[in-house]
């Protein structure tokens, strides 16, 4: 569509939403525009002199665009920008704030697997992987990205409702001196001190200690 006159209201709330460094640009449609609005997206590496149009996000009618591939180098920072078009009119380019994948991503909780004996439970935690372009690409654990990564683990005795919290650096934990034949529920969170990043707590995994022999 030819850009005749940029009188269209601007796209709103243009921002990156990032989880495990899967970096997706989101925005809201311009105020007061119904259907039929199309969008163009471009991005720039901060400090490098050119804006690059994202080929798969030219003249699209959705209000998101996956820029994970273009922003996968987390030693760089980025800007992205969106422009709206409707019936020959257009909006201004609307930019994100500066996006730093390292500090601006959210981290999923760790995966929790548990096993038990009569008097103890063993917990193994698995850190989520950084987003990757394809399943064949080599996996990078977020542990490699954030070397100071730690885990907060919560263990609940379902019978007494007593709860313990542990803060650990390695990914395994054995909780001893438990009651036989009792159900315990485990939940864990990832905690990175700098930059400050906390995942939510994982869904509770419950397991019963074996009955007394």
Binding residues among 153-212 for other proteins as defined by CB under 8 A: 193-196
| Neighbour-count burial of 152, counting CB atoms closer than 10 A to its CB (0-12 exposed, 13-18 middle, 19+ buried) | middle
Residue 161 neighbours by CB distance under 10 Å: 7
> Quick one: 50 or 211, whose CB is closer to other proteins?
50
| Paired tokens of 46 | 């901060």
Site string for other proteins, 114-153 (x = CB under 8 A): ----------------------------------x-----
> Quick one: 68 or 81, whose CB is closer to other proteins?
81
First to last CA, the chain: 77
> Quick one: 103 or 126, whose CB is closer to other proteins?
103
Q: Using CB under 8 A, count the residues that bind other proteins.
A: 20
Q: What is the DSSP letter of 9?
A: P
The shares of helix, strand and coil residues in the chain, as percent rounded to the nearest 5, are 5, 45, 50
Q: CA 22 to CA 19: how far, in whole Å?
A: 5
> Quick one: 148 or 200, whose CB is closer to other proteins?
148
Q: Which stretches of the chain are DSSP H helices?
A: 101-104, 142-145
Question: Taking Cα atoms as reference points, which of 56, 53, 101 lies closest to residue 81?
Answer: 53
Binding residues among 28-67 for other proteins as defined by CB under 8 A: 44, 46-50
> Quick one: 74 or 114, whose CB is closer to other proteins?
74
Binding segment (CB under 8 A) for other proteins, from list 20-28, 96-104, 116-124, 182-190: 96-104
Binding residues among 64-93 for other proteins as defined by CB under 8 A: 75-77, 79
Binding residues vs other proteins (CB under 8 A):
44, 46-50, 75-77, 79, 97-98, 100, 102-103, 148, 193-196
């Amino acid at each position: 569509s030819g850009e005749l006159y940029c009188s269209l209201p601007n796209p709103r709330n243009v921002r990156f939403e990032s989880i495990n460094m899967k970096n997706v640009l989101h925005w809201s449609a311009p105020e007061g525009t119904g259907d039929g609005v199309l969008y163009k997206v471009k991005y720039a590496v901060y400090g490098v002199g050119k804006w690059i149009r994202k080929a798969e996000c030219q003249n699209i009618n959705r209000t998101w665009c996956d820029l994970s591939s273009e922003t996968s180098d987390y030693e760089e920072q980025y800007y992205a920008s969106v422009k709206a078009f409707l019936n020959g009119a257009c909006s201004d380019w609307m930019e994100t704030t500066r996006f730093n994948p390292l500090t601006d991503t959210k981290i999923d909780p760790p995966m929790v697997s548990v096993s038990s004996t009569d008097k103890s439970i063993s917990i193994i935690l698995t850190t989520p992987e950084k987003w990757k372009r394809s399943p064949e690409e080599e996996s990078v654990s977020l542990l490699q990205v954030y070397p100071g990564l730690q885990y907060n683990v919560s263990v609940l005795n379902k019978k007494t409702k007593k709860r313990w919290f542990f803060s650990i650096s390695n990914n395994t934990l054995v909780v001893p001196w438990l009651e036989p034949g009792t159900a315990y529920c485990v939940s864990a969170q990832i905690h990175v001190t700098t930059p400050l990043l906390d995942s939510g707590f994982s869904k509770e995994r419950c397991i019963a200690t074996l009955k007394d022999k």
